[in-house]
Amino acid sequence: MKYYMLEGSFVKNLPERNELQKAIDAHLEYLQIGFNDGSILLSGPKVGAGGGIIIVKCDDIEKFCNDDPLVKAGIQEYR
């Protein structure tokens, strides 16, 4: 497995607050799965901007990113 550092950034046109919060809650549940199985080493929000940082170990980083509920909802992009 490889280690990756991801920077997530929110897109410019965010959904309404309720929809955004639902997606964030689903994202946090997704991250918790990674913490539980040991694939996510750390994560946290960026200060002053939407998005965050994740350090993850996995075989398929594209799948990891694309399975994130924030990415699925079109709210966040990773680099």
Q: What is the DSSP letter of 46?
A: P
Report the distance separating Cα 41 and Cα 57, nearest Å.
8
What average pLDDT does range 40-57 have in this prediction? 93
Q: Which two tokens stand for residue 56?
A: 């993850």
Report the distance separating Cα 16 and Cα 18, nearest Å.
6
More confident residue, 47 or 66: 66
* Amino acid, res. 9: S
- Using the predicted structure, report yes or no on whether residue 77 has a pLDDT greater than 90: yes
- Using the predicted structure, report yes or no on whether residue 49 has a pLDDT greater than 80: no
- pLDDT band, very low/low/confident/very high, at 50 (cuts 50, 70, 90): confident
